[in-house]
């Protein structure tokens, strides 16, 4: 399989600017063969402003950016793309827009068959997985399906909290923890693994190899099994055949 994915938990890390914490990984990921990156800004309402943010950042890394919303034919834009980057925002809005623009199947084909590099951050990482069932976002719009692009055979929960299990003792929050919510998801039959990506972490997928990158650990949830912590640099390739 030709797929190359860089699935980032968050686009902005506390104390740094947009994509600063992963810019070296981005440059290495897209390399010198890619000159132009197709940016999908549909997770946010102001697509022009969002595209400008991505365009300005990628220019500092040596890449030109085209906004998918600027293309007269979105499907043709995906067919011509040298690289794809889907940004964060609201996952439901994003997935609905992908279906509305009829690009879900074409993105999957370009990535899995043609080897076009795909980068996602937050919501853009969510839609790369089996479904958006484990997003943190509110369903502000209703996509025709919760099924996503399906570039990997598991789900991801971006922005996973840094603490383990229950909230810190100082917290007075009485709602469910993220771990409890993912456990509720796994109470449903035939639900896939969920990788909790903390802010500062990202998953690099190259063919059938997956590696955890970044500065923070990730937590893996498997239905019917205890959750497991993984350090940066861990080989998570088993998730691709799980």
Q: How many CB atoms lie within 10 A of CB 219?
A: 21
Name the residue among 98, 87, 94 with its Cα closest to residue 57: 87
Strand order in the sheet with 194-198: 155-160, 194-198, 218-221, 228-230
Is residue 205 within 8 Å of 238, Cβ to Cβ? no
> How far apart are alpha carbons 60 and 15 in whole angstroms?
19
Residue 181: count of CB within 10 angstroms of its CB: 15
Catalytic residue among 131, 137, 186, 201: 137
The residue annotated as part of the active site, out of 122, 131, 186, 201, is 122
Measured CA to CA, the distance from residue 20 to residue 10 in angstroms comes to 11
Name the DSSP letter for residue 191.
Answer: P
- Lookup result for tokens 């943010």: 53
**Catalytic pick among 159, 227, 234, 237:** 159
To the query of whether residue 159 is one of the catalytic residues in this protein, the response is yes
**DSSP code, position 159:** E
Residues 6+ apart with CB under 8 A from 4: 29, 111, 115, 116, 117, 118, 205, 206, 207
CA distances from residue 163 to 8, 187, 216, 232 in whole angstroms, order as listed: 19, 23, 12, 16
Catalytic residues: 122, 137, 159
């Amino acid at each position: 399989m030709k797929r190359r994915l860089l699935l980032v938990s968050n686009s902005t890390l506390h104390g740094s600017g947009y994509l600063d914490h992963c810019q070296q990984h981005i440059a290495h990921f897209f390399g010198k063969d890619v000159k132009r990156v197709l940016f999908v800004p549909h997770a946010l309402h102001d697509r022009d402003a969002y595209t400008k943010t991505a365009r300005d950042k990628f220019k500092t890394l040596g890449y030109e950016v085209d906004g998918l919303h600027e293309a007269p034919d979105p499907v043709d834009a995906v067919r011509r793309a040298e690289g794809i980057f889907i940004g964060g925002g609201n996952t439901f809005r994003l997935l609905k827009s992908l279906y509305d623009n009829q690009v879900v199947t074409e993105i999957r084909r370009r990535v899995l068959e043609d080897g076009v590099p795909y980068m996602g951050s937050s919501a853009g990482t969510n839609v790369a997985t089996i479904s958006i069932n484990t997003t943190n976002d509110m369903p502000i719009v209703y996509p025709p399906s919760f099924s996503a692009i399906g570039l990997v055979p598991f789900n991801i929960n971006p922005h996973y909290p840094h603490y383990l299990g229950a909230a810190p003792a100082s917290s007075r929050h009485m709602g469910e923890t993220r771990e409890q919510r993912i456990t509720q998801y796994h109470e449903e039959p035939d639900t896939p693994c969920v990788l909790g990506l903390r802010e500062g972490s990202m998953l690099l997928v190259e063919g059938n190899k997956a590696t955890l990158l970044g500065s923070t650990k990730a937590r893996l949830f498997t239905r019917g099994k205890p959750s497991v912590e993984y350090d940066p640099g861990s080989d998570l390739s088993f998730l691709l055949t799980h």
